[in-house]
Structure 1
Amino acid sequence: MSKLIILTAPSGAGKTTIVRHLLNTMPELAFSISATTRERRPDEAEGKDYYYIGVPEFKQLIAEEAFAEWQEVYPDQFYGTLRSEIDRIWATGKHIVFDIDVKGAVNLKNTYPDQSLAIFVKPPSKEALFERLRRRKTENEESLRKRLAKAEEELTFENKFDHILVNDVLEDALDEAQMLVRRFIHTYK
């Protein structure tokens, strides 16, 4: 049976780095590409980083129940997992890795409770998270402020997940993530 590996975290906690590591070291995994209404960044590609969809089309897909999960993360900035994306990857026989927002992760876990492992990646402290976001230099002061406020809220969700992975020493976090995923995909429910 194919399974879902759901990684979530506040922005800047390191989940994308962990997801990339899992995909590079475990060939039995494939990445689920999310849909979003946000603007594409210069270094991003359609169908690789996201499926970029306009707000009206996204809302139509919600009405058609085309999403396994979706969230309005910021006003008119939607993210979601298309059911067709899950079907596409499962048809290849691989397990799916998700890099999604906290509320979307809770919803996806609730949709596929027996087939999913939900991992909450947590920074060692709020101060470390703040510093990581600042060092990225991808945010202006306004968007940084929004991300930090959102992170405060997201940290309150950690008890809704199967595992909390503290990303303090990156190598340790990568090893622990790989061990958790291997154990999960080789356990039959």
Structure 2
Amino acid sequence: MTDGTGAGSGARVRPRLTVLSGPSGVGKSSVLAELRRMGPDVHFSVSVTTRKPRPGEVDGVHYHFVDRAEFDKMVDNGELLEHAEFAGNCYGTPRAPVLAALASGLPSLLEIELQGARQVRAAMPEAQLVMLAPPSWEDLVGRLTGRGTEDPAVVARRLEIAREELAAEPEFDQVVVNDDVKSAATRLLHLVVGPAPDAR
């Protein structure tokens, strides 16, 4: 019998990489923060980026901050599992820490956008792709427009991208609906540490 977190099971399951993705405004940061508070024995991948740190962000904790030349070198050397460019800034996932975690028996969790998730699926077909989805489209629209601080054109573009991302749901192995942060984090944890199915 297992408690759903991997504890209490005599069988050893091979750890796997789980990729969490979802549209802007769906609450990925909140769900991941709640998951971290649960203190699971999970490797949280830290992305590398060329953008400048925001107030409160710590290098090596929130991101690895590098300049464009170093980022390009990492791409050329095959050091990134995936990489993409958004709004003039580059983002990528260092390959070595993920592989090291998996080799040591730790499941690894990575939060990236749809483009990166597709690259990971191509590079590591055994990776589990999880989409974090809103309870409804209306709920997501409310989250993205409720701030009222951004240019309407920017919000409209975000909604357009969000619609495209949600349309990619069939590409994902699992969908977690974020109708409650704690319950969404709990379900995600079970997916990250649970045994992989024998066959898709």
User: 1:140 aligned to 2:150?
Assistant: yes
- Closer/same/farther in 2, CA of residues 108 and 17 from structure 1, 3 Å limit: same
User: 1:172 aligned to 2:183?
Assistant: yes
Query: Matches of residues 57-68 of structure 1 in structure 2 within 5 Å?
Result: 57-68=70-81
The letter of the residue matching 1:93 is: G
> Over alpha carbons, which structure has the higher Rg?
2
Of 135, 138, 153, the residue aligned with 1:124 is 135
Measured after TM superposition, the shift of residue 101 of structure 1 is 0.9
Query: Matches of residues 175-186 of structure 1 in structure 2 within 5 Å?
Result: 175-184=186-195
Equivalent-residue separation in structure 1 for 2:140 and 2:189 (angstroms):
22
User: 1:93 aligned to 2:101?
Assistant: no
- Closer/same/farther in 2, CA of residues 148 and 52 from structure 1, 3 Å limit: farther
- The equivalent residue for 1:112 is 124
Query: Matches of residues 6-155 of structure 1 in structure 2 within 5 Å?
Result: 6-74=19-87, 76-90=88-102, 92-114=104-126, 116-135=127-146, 140-141=150-151, 143-155=154-166
The letter of the residue matching 1:140 is: E
Contact 2:15/2:193 (<8 A) preserved:
no
Deviates more, 1:84-93 or 1:15-24: 84-93
Could you tell me which runs of 5 or more consecutive residues in structure 2 were left unpaired when the two chains were aligned. Answer: 1-13
What's the TM-score, normalizing by structure 1? 0.83
Equivalent-residue separation in structure 1 for 2:113 and 2:135 (angstroms):
19
CA RMSD of aligned residues (A): 2.5
Could you tell me which runs of 5 or more consecutive residues in structure 1 were left unpaired when the two chains were aligned. Answer: none
Measured after TM superposition, the shift of residue 80 of structure 1 is 0.9
Q: Which has the higher strand share?
A: 1
Identity %: 31
SS in 2 for 1:184: coil
Q: Which has the higher helix share?
A: 1
How many pairs align?
185
